[in-house]
Structure 1
Amino acid sequence: MLKLTRKYPRLSTVLTVTVVICILGAGYVREIFAGAETSEETYKSLKQLTEVLEEIQYNYVDEVKPNELIQKAIEGMVSSLDPHSAFMPPENFADLQMETKGEFSGIGIVLTMKDGAITVISPIDGTPAAKAGIKAEDIILKVDDEQTRDMQLWEAVKKMRGKKGTHVKITIFREGTKEPLDFDLVRDDIPLESVKWAELEPGYGYVLITNFRESTAEDTEKAIKALESGPNPLKGLVIDLRGNPGGLLDQAIEIADLFIDKGPIVSTKGRKKENNRTWEATPNTTPRNYPIALLINSGSASASEIVAGALQDTNKAIVVGTTSFGKGSVQTVKPLKDGYGLKYTIARYYTPNGRSIQAEGIVPDIEVTYEEPKKDDKAAAEEKKKKSLFLKEKDLKNHLVNPGTTENGETKEKEKIEDKKDDKSAKKEKVKMRKSSDTFEAERLLDDNQVRRGLDLLIGYSVFKNIKTK
């Protein structure tokens, strides 16, 4: 075997100092070379790194650029910490800022790195990914037939984004399927609207929060006030955080604060004292004493879990659905030189009762698995079949007639009652159409079994609280 050996003492020294400065910064370099025992170990490791860089630069079969090697080394170092830490090149750092501030085009999917695989946290409501049927926990195998196995998370995201109207092919693995699934998606503008609302039934509201951006708390408060100021007094509220991947911490805190009057909402604990903090609730000028059913699933992560945990621990809401994602860590983003960015974990967060949900998730008070809505014709046929199996009193021969009906079973003062019925139907139709926008298909909500269960719990609470036990 041919083995080439060379000595480059001056180059090695220069590379060592260069790598140290690039990775740790000038301020930390002074600490490293201060003579501490741990610093000596760090220096030895950095020297080993530069020896590898030196060997590759001079002996690798193709010419390589030292700066690119160093960048890859930094990427590997940061990504090895946890799935949510990343060293971001300028274009990816700009995308991260757009996600919380501006509009971008893509397929509307939130990803994480799980066990080395690019995994879906959740599709964003109303986007191409959601409409196509991509689900939480799907694993992205290929993007445009290119394997994602060796991709950084930001690289996969970059490939999925693009101009509105262009196509991208996504190949996924889904548990329970024998073969990978292909999705041909057309990129579109990802909607900035993160809050939608509707009145499910007179007095019972519904608020959908799809993510946590800069105006989410403000928009949520507007939605709640719109429901509270409607023609029917608000007797209960369903808050839907299913598939919500999270976002800005301050928005989650403000939303929880809309319902909690005192005590902690969330606390964070890290290695550094400045990252240990507790956010306390503030008294509300508008009392909100109505019951709340809060919906979660495996796609509810991060900021969603902060809201769910806070309302659950303070007994302000009953949590319905399936166990959430379990992201209980807090990241900070630091801008670096030349447009680069560093996102890394600084703390774990804890619910008001001191629970860490990291890798555990929020466990619902009532577990309800989502079921695909039945087809209308099939549901109608089943209902008709059920009705035919049972007799009612009015079906029996010689049954007694209700005093409010004629001998033929028709209601007396038919015209008057029909008029009332028409008025009631018109009112119901008017309530039915009370929603945040015409694009929000609120009429389909009651076909969602988890929403329906949440509503039933609220209605049941209103009934039972009026029952006298003595």
Structure 2
Amino acid sequence: MKNKKFITLGFASVTLSLGLLFSSNLFAESSKLVPKESETSRLQSLAKFTKVIGIVEQYNVDDITIEELMDKALDGMMQNLDAHSNYLTKKDYKKLKVQTSGEFGGLGITVGMKDGALTVISPIDGTPADKAGLQSGDIILKIDEKSTISMTIDEAVSLMRGKVGDPIDVTIVRKGEMKPLVIHIVRGIITIESVHVKTINDDTLYIRVASFDQKVAADVAKEIKKRKATTKGIILDLRNNPGGLLDQAVDLVDLFVDKGDIVSQKGRQESDAKTFTASSRATLTKVPMVVLINGGSASASEIVSGALQDHKRAVLVGENTFGKGSVQVVLPITNDEAIKLTIARYYLPSGRTIQAVGVKPDIEVAPGEVKTRKNEFAIKESDLKQHLEEELEKVDGKKDEIKEDKKENKDIITSEMLTKDIQLKEAVDIIKALVIIKG
């Protein structure tokens, strides 16, 4: 039986939710989290800490209270554990609660720490950040006039969140650019449509998953069932998908894999260890698959793509993923304060970790357009079509019919669209080959 739990892949996000698990159960079991050292050693360490606090309080050049000293000590300790753990003061904790439950203006990006720098994991489709031109891999140097050096993820998220309609300037460093770029963005309400479906060549189903919200697996299953009779191959596009709910990642893989492990979670405590397995009852299709990934694919996206790769269920095309495979929980320490702590890491069916490594594609393809050589002497189909339509418009009663024919079908990806996306074009070619082999 599948072992499921409604848990989020802890990511700081400038969207309508942060995707963090709030927990008091772990706090109640805090005695189990301390190192198994001798009581003498622990008392000596605590005495040393108390002594340092006392010395700083007495001799520091600036007058500082014991409360301020403790906040600084806790903040420094948590930040030095890993990039995603931190201490939440009364002010920080209140802001986090607002971000996880309230409606607010944001940019529409997911950020994380990579090599010590605040990095854009991905902009979300159609959001202010996406429209302004922010890209996966951009390093954020400044938020308005504030430097992000030594800034926590939560502090950065708080600065980027604001009133709808208010502008913000984000200074970034981008690979390939000679100098920093200033991106001007106007905050907006972030609404995310997670699943987009189109068809290619009538027999290939293109499924774009922008993020893993509560209905992703159900929406994808619905679309597969609707087109099952005509579908010979599936392209799952997880590019710039920052992640989301773990149970949705597991359920999505389960639609394509009928047995075996999907992902396992391992922490220091036995209670943190969990394994999520596939069930044949949930599997909908075994048609050939290609999964598109890039540096903006993180967390749940990496679990899905990595699991399908380990099961040899899909060919992965694109670029190496972000490398976010750890679990964070928010643990209250008082009514007004808390800590955010990394308690476990995710492992793919083969046993490999995602954290700081990511998932490597089977076929590496950089983004860009398909380069084609023009034949100057060939008659363009578009020119010929336009000429014929002009002739037909001269015929009485046909003008309205021609206009109707010219409407674009938004549910179909055309060959012209494929030339603008070389990664997708490669995926289509691979699907064609796999269908031929299978057939």
Taking CA–CA contacts closer than 8 Å with sequence separation of 6 or more, which of the two structures ends up with the larger relative contact order?
2
Q: Is the counterpart of residue 50 in structure 1 residue 50 in structure 2? A: yes
CA pair 240-270 structure 1, distance change in 2 beyond 3 A? same
1:383 pairs with 374, 382, 386, which one?
374
Q: C-alpha offsets along residues 38-86 of structure 1, whole Å, 9 cap, x if unaligned?
A: 3333333333333333333344344333223322322221221111223
The corresponding residue for 2:119 is 119
3-state SS, counterpart of residue 337 of structure 1 = coil
Distance of 1:226 and 1:90 partners within structure 2: 50
8 A Cα contact 2:261 2:278, kept in partner: yes
The corresponding residue for 1:148 is 148
CA pair 104-217 structure 1, distance change in 2 beyond 3 A? farther
Q: CA deviation at 1:234?
A: 1.2
Q: CA deviation at 1:355?
A: 2.1
CA pair 256-285 structure 1, distance change in 2 beyond 3 A? closer
2:410 pairs with 425, 433, 457, which one?
433
**Which deviates further from its counterpart, 353-362 or 233-242?**
353-362
The corresponding residue for 1:459 is 432
Q: C-alpha offsets along residues 137-174 of structure 1, whole Å, 9 cap, x if unaligned?
A: 21111111211113222111111111111011111112
Letter in 2 for 1:434: D
Q: CA deviation at 1:315?
A: 2.0
Q: CA deviation at 1:178?
A: 1.7
Letter in 1 for 2:432: I
The corresponding residue for 1:255 is 252
Matched residues, percent identical? 43
8 A Cα contact 2:221 2:284, kept in partner: no
Distance of 1:227 and 1:95 partners within structure 2: 44
The corresponding residue for 1:86 is 86
Letter in 1 for 2:424: V
Q: C-alpha offsets along residues 101-126 of structure 1, whole Å, 9 cap, x if unaligned?
A: 76542111211122332112122222
The corresponding residue for 1:318 is 315
Structure 2: runs of 5 or more not aligned = 1-25, 380-400
Aligned length: 392
The corresponding residue for 1:66 is 66
CA pair 85-31 structure 1, distance change in 2 beyond 3 A? closer
Distance of 2:96 and 2:194 partners within structure 1: 17
Letter in 1 for 2:376: K
Q: Is the counterpart of residue 172 in structure 1 residue 149 in structure 2? A: no
Distance of 2:102 and 2:221 partners within structure 1: 21
Letter in 1 for 2:145: D
Distance of 2:156 and 2:279 partners within structure 1: 41
The corresponding residue for 2:343 is 346
Distance of 1:174 and 1:250 partners within structure 2: 34
8 A Cα contact 1:100 1:214, kept in partner: no
- TM-score normalized with structure 1 length: 0.74
3-state SS, counterpart of residue 252 of structure 2 = helix
8 A Cα contact 1:31 1:39, kept in partner: no
The corresponding residue for 2:387 is none
Distance of 1:461 and 1:355 partners within structure 2: 27
CA pair 126-365 structure 1, distance change in 2 beyond 3 A? same
8 A Cα contact 2:124 2:130, kept in partner: yes
2:300 pairs with 303, 320, 325, which one?
303
Structure 1: runs of 5 or more not aligned = 1-23, 389-422
The corresponding residue for 2:159 is 159
Distance of 1:238 and 1:319 partners within structure 2: 10
Distance of 1:295 and 1:130 partners within structure 2: 19
Q: CA deviation at 1:457?
A: 1.6
Q: Is the counterpart of residue 237 in structure 1 residue 234 in structure 2? A: yes
The corresponding residue for 1:110 is 110
3-state SS, counterpart of residue 81 of structure 1 = coil
CA pair 171-236 structure 1, distance change in 2 beyond 3 A? same
**Which deviates further from its counterpart, 70-79 or 253-262?**
70-79
CA pair 146-53 structure 1, distance change in 2 beyond 3 A? same
8 A Cα contact 2:78 2:86, kept in partner: yes
8 A Cα contact 1:166 1:186, kept in partner: yes
After TM superposition, the structure 1 = structure 2 runs for residues 195-214 of structure 1, keeping only pairs within 5 Å, are 195-214=195-214
3-state SS, counterpart of residue 234 of structure 2 = strand
Q: CA deviation at 1:183?
A: 0.7
The corresponding residue for 1:181 is 181
- TM-score normalized with structure 2 length: 0.79
Distance of 1:170 and 1:45 partners within structure 2: 43
3-state SS, counterpart of residue 284 of structure 1 = coil
Distance of 2:238 and 2:33 partners within structure 1: 45
Q: CA deviation at 1:188?
A: 1.0
The structure with the largest alpha-carbon Rg is 1
Q: Is the counterpart of residue 361 in structure 1 residue 358 in structure 2? A: yes
